[in-house]
């Protein structure tokens, strides 16, 4: 499994948790990422319907 695949998979899980109603802080804690990462990922998905950077 490549690093890029892991990153895309992590972003997909973040989006799924956001859609399930979890708050940003809880997702960041669960996925061991920053609050900014969760916010950016959610914003990017809602604006572009893509998980790509």
The residue range of the domain holding 33 is 3-48
Between residues 4 and 16, the one the model is more confident about: 16
* Structural domain contains residue 53: no
* Structural domain contains residue 9: yes
* Structural domain contains residue 29: yes
pTM > 0.75: yes or no? yes
Number of domains composing the chain? 1
* Structural domain contains residue 44: yes
Please provide the size of the chain in residues. Answer: 53
pLDDT at 3 over 70: no
* Structural domain contains residue 39: yes
> How high is the pLDDT of residue 33?
96
* Structural domain contains residue 16: yes
* Structural domain contains residue 40: yes
> How high is the pLDDT of residue 46?
87
| DSSP one-letter string for 12-44 | HHHHHHHHTT--HHHHHHHHT--HHHHHHHHHH
* Structural domain contains residue 28: yes
- Each residue of 22-45: pLDDT tens digit? 999 999 999 999 999 999 999 998
CA atoms of 33 and 47, how far apart (whole Å): 21
């Amino acid at each position: 499994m490549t690093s890029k695949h892991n990153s895309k998979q992590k972003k997909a899980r973040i989006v799924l948790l956001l859609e399930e109603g979890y708050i940003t802080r809880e997702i960041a804690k669960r996925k061991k990422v920053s609050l900014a990462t969760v916010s950016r990922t959610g914003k990017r998905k809602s604006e572009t319907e893509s998980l790509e950077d």
